[in-house]
Amino acid sequence: MSITALKKSIRLAGSQSALAAKCGTKQSNIWNWLHRDGRVPAEYVIAVCTATDFKVTPHEVRPDIYPNKKDALPSGSSRTRSGVVSEFKADQGPASESKEVA
């Protein structure tokens, strides 16, 4: 985990207390992650990223769990878009495929 990513999350949230409130935990837990544990627990990674509107990504917070830069980003996130993005619908396959209905 990058302590830099946690520090950035704290800065974006405004304080350790503000980040804790947005993540549904206590300020003391944020302090422990920063100074004692050295990482955000897996169950709080998405909460931390959501608290920063994904300005800090899951990959930045825990690259050991999210090894790809786009892992766990919301589909509408500007961090996922680089030029043209193809849309994928799970029940229909890639948008470029067309299926005929009989």
Q: List the CATH number of the domain containing 47.
A: 1.10.260.40
Residue 90 CA: distances (Å) to CA of 24, 77, 84, 93: 31, 19, 19, 6
pTM of the model: 0.72
Query: What is the spatial distance between Cα 94 and Cα 88, in angstroms, rounded to a whole number?
Result: 5
With bands split at pLDDT 50, 70 and 90, how would you rate the model's confidence at 40?
very high
Would residue 46 count as lying in a domain?
yes
Would residue 9 count as lying in a domain?
yes
Q: Over the Cα atoms of the chain, what is R_g?
A: 17
For residue 59, the enclosing domain spans 3-75
Over residues 38-44, the mean pLDDT reads 96
**Tokens for 88?**
């994928």
In this prediction, residue 75 carries a pLDDT of 84
- Per-residue pLDDT reduced to its tens digit, 54-98: 999 999 999 999 999 998 999 865 554 433 333 333 344 444 444
